[in-house]
Chains A and B, each alone.
Chain A
Amino acid sequence: QLQLQESGPGLVKPSETLSLTCTVSGGSISSSTYYWGWIRQPPGKGLEWIASIYYSGSTYYNPSLRGRVTISVDTSKNQFSLKLSSVTAADTAVYYCARLPSDSGSWLPLDIWGQGTMVTVSS
């Protein structure tokens, strides 16, 4: 069955760039019916959608983070990635990657999630 696994540094210094990768196994990231996304959750708080990407490179970003976020895809490695620049303590969170189905231009809910990776921003 399809699985997603986040990876990346657990500690990032303020003002630096957070970089995470999500590896998709048990299925192809190049499937025509799915986007792939990042969602984060600060400790003890709720969920915030960050960005989503299609295998072709089409992207959607949360405007609240636009300018600091870049999402990319590497179909040869069946991976997609997140970069968040100029991080502050407010970016400390569990970062999840997830699958986002799409049907005929219409969205569906996030149906498969990775286990999440905790990223702390601290000097």
Chain B
Amino acid sequence: DIVMTQSPDSLAVSLGERATINCKSSQSVLYSSNNKNYLAWYQQKPGQPPKLLIYWASTRESGVPDRFSGSGSGTDFTLTISSLQAEDVAVYYCQQYYGTPFFFGQGTKLEIK
């Protein structure tokens, strides 16, 4: 099983500042045949289902603001929000889709400082 671990568990950032969330997988999620990392990021606001933000570790889903970016490869990944907006307050999850069982990270709660 490929287990995901996020850090930190919670984060408080000032409006307009950068927010960085880390995700580590217990095994590489880089598939050598296509050189793609099977890693996604989701945003979940209270009372709502998760929303897909980023896949292939760095590809933004359609309609996602470009202040959201993903980076990393292999086992270490980062979600960056370049300039935090009030509407970005949420819990963020990483997920590996390299293989079943699909695992999510435990989540990072992002708040305004």
Set of chain A residues within 8 Å of B49, measured between Cβ atoms? 96, 98, 113-116
A48-B50 Cα distance, complex, nearest whole Å: 12
Set of chain B residues within 8 Å of A114, measured between Cβ atoms? 49
From A60, A111, A115, contact of B100 by CB (8 A): A60
From A47, A108, A116, contact of B93 by CB (8 A): A47
Interface size of B in residues (CB-CB distance below 8 Å): 26
Asked, given contacts A47-B50, A111-B52, whether A52 binds B97 with beta carbons under 8 Å apart, the answer is no
Asked, given contacts A46-B106, A46-B107, A96-B49, whether A107 binds B97 with beta carbons under 8 Å apart, the answer is yes
A71-B43 Cα distance, complex, nearest whole Å: 26
Which DSSP category, helix, strand, loop or mixed, fits chain B's interface?
loop
Closest 7 CB pairs of A and B: A109-B40, A113-B49, A49-B102, A47-B104, A107-B97, A62-B101, A60-B100
Chain A residue nearest to B106 in the complex (CB): A46
Chain B positions near chain A (C-beta within 8 angstroms): 1, 31, 34, 38, 40, 42, 48-52, 55, 61, 93, 95, 97-107
Set of chain A residues within 8 Å of B42, measured between Cβ atoms? 47, 109-110
CB interface residues, A 58-86, toward B, < 8 Å: 60, 62-64
A60-B55 Cα distance, complex, nearest whole Å: 21
Could you tell me if A109 and B52 are in contact, using CB atoms closer than 8 angstroms?
yes
Chain A residue nearest to B104 in the complex (CB): A47
A19-B22 Cα distance, complex, nearest whole Å: 36
A103-B105 Cα distance, complex, nearest whole Å: 24
From A49, A63, A107, A113, contact of B104 by CB (8 A): A49
A106-B103 Cα distance, complex, nearest whole Å: 16
Q: Told that A46-B105, A47-B50, A106-B34 touch, could you supply 15 new A-B pairs with CB distance under 8 A?
A: A46-B93, A46-B107, A47-B104, A48-B104, A49-B101, A49-B102, A49-B103, A63-B1, A64-B101, A107-B97, A107-B98, A109-B40, A109-B42, A110-B42, A114-B49
